[in-house]
Structure 1
Amino acid sequence: MNNNLNGIDVAALQQFAQGIAEDSTKRHASFNVRTEWQGQTRTVAKVNRYSLAGETYSRDFEIAADEPNELLGENSAPNPQELLMAALNACMSVGYAANAAMMGITIHSLEIETNGTLDLRGFLGIDENVNPGYDEVSVAIRLHTDAPRARVEELHSAVLKTSVNYANFSRAVRMVPTLEVRES
């Protein structure tokens, strides 16, 4: 098997997975994002660190968000829904590339398109019986590979079973909100 398939170092991925399987202290990854409101509908999220296997690593990224003009923003960045879908697509893309590499499948091209419709009555608090979030999201995966259809179906099943953000979308996540108020 090629040691580098779909841009993935297969031996390194196998070694990483084996280390996690064998050592319970290596099982956890923790992520942190701090978002600051910039006025109107604009925010900037900062990614400064993450932890893997008990060690903390520095990161330095900013992710801007804004609403389109029609939703009272300045249209200076993707809105939170677009970022949410982009995060789903990016996570699934990693899943396809890595799982395909482990299965010996070469990906020639991959495109993931996600669509969802919100009922704004929920978001605006007009009708408390309306879900402010999505009731359904469609995901179209367009994959070009020379692998037989049965192997591609195996790959697809593996990605849907192991994608973190697919799981976050398709299963309820327990949220633990804490409100800290500064008094003037």
Structure 2
Amino acid sequence: MALRPERHERNNDHPPAFLARVVSRRDRHRLGARRWISPFGVRQQCRQCRRPSGRRIPNMSAADLQSSIHPETPVSEPQLKYARSRSVWEGKMKSRLQIRHFPNFYTGEPEHVGGDNSAPTPMEVVIASFNGCLTIVIELVAKELGVPLEAIEMETEGAIDQRGVFGTAPVSPHFSRVVNRTRVRTPAGQEDLDEIRRRVMRRCPAFNLIRDAGVPIELDWTAESAASESLRGDRSPGAAR
């Protein structure tokens, strides 16, 4: 199968040296598309369908990833990334949300608050994002340390004093505490997991966002060497707001 170098005319985020790779004939319609970059590999992204495509470029270290995203900015200067979202109110405390090219999703409220209970609350989405962010940084740090991962199971609960949002008492409207329970299945031991946790606490954006708001966060992480049951305690926290 013929191989051709990738074009980069439509990608202004990275220099030609970073874009150098080869693609198959089947991928020609995707040439010049944006890149999909993560700590776990780099793939091309189609202009039409916005889905990652093409062959994966070999994994990069965190330092290589950083220099690839910001090739001309020294580490001593801010290297900014922007997160954006668009929302449209649909009534009854429900909002339709859009992030980049991904499918729309919704937030809402339970019926007893005035919503229709058709979507998670915004604060439940915050907790879900906390889980997702922690998982990403765990994988990134484990890769840097050479610790193999087989599975990650996580459960997080945030407590909110609803008097704050309703204005019935002078208390904070955000979380009063957050408790995270994580099980990591890995051939490594608890000592390696504790080192991962120390680095994740320093580098996870969502963790530090909540902690910097003055919210106490409890992390209960356990390393397991064999297959185990899913997280116990399937209690469903009351709808958070």
Task: Please report the TM-score for the alignment, with normalisation by the length of structure 2.
Answer: 0.59
3-state SS in 2 of match to 1:110: strand
* Residues 18-57 of structure 1 mapped to structure 2, 5 A cutoff: 18-19=67-68, 23-24=72-73, 27-48=79-100
Q: Pairwise CA RMSD of aligned residues?
A: 2.3
Identity, in percent, stands at 22
Higher mean C-alpha displacement, 141-150 vs 74-83: 141-150
CA shift at 1:112, angstroms? 1.8
Which of the pair is proportionally richer in helix?
A: 1
Partners in 2 of 1:157 and 1:20 — Cα distance? 25
Deviation at 1:171, TM superposition (A): 0.5
Deviation at 1:27, TM superposition (A): 2.0
Residue 69 of structure 1 aligns with an amino acid whose one-letter code is E
Q: What is the number of residues matched between the two proteins?
A: 156
Query: 1:167 & 1:84 partners in 2: Cα distance?
Result: 13
SS in 2 for 1:165: helix
| Match of residue 166 from structure 1 | 207
Cα distance in structure 1, aligned partners of 2:213 and 2:121: 22
8 A Cα contact 2:108 2:119, kept in partner: yes
Secondary structure of 2:160's aligned partner: coil
| Aligned residue in 2 for 1:179 | none
Asked if 1:150 is matched to 2:191, the reply is yes
1:1-184 matches, within 5 Å, as 8-9=40-41, 11-14=59-62, 15-19=64-68, 23-24=72-73, 27-48=79-100, 59-127=101-169, 129-172=170-213
* Distance in 1 between residues matched to 2:151 and 2:111, nearest whole Å: 34
How far 1:123 moved relative to its partner?
A: 1.1
Structure with greater Cα Rg: 2
Task: Give runs of ≥4 in structure 1 deviating > 3 Å.
Answer: 18-23
CA contact (8 A) 2:161 2:176 kept: no
| Residues 8-32 of structure 1, C-alpha deviations (whole Å, 9 max, x = no match) | 3473244213446864179221111
Mind listing any 5+ residue stretches in structure 1 that lack a counterpart? 1-6, 49-58, 174-184
How many Å separate the matches in 1 of 2:133 and 2:155? 13
Query: Which digits, 9 at most, give the CA deviation of each residue in 1:54-84, with x for residues without a partner?
Result: xxxxx34422111122322111111111100
2: CA distance between counterparts of 1:20 and 1:77?
A: 35
Q: Deviations over 1:132-176 (max 9, x none)?
A: 111211111221111122211111111111001111111039xxx
Match of 2:230 in 1: none
Partner of 2:5: none
TM-score w.r.t. length of structure 1 = 0.75
- Structure 1: how far apart are the matches of 2:192 and 2:70? 25
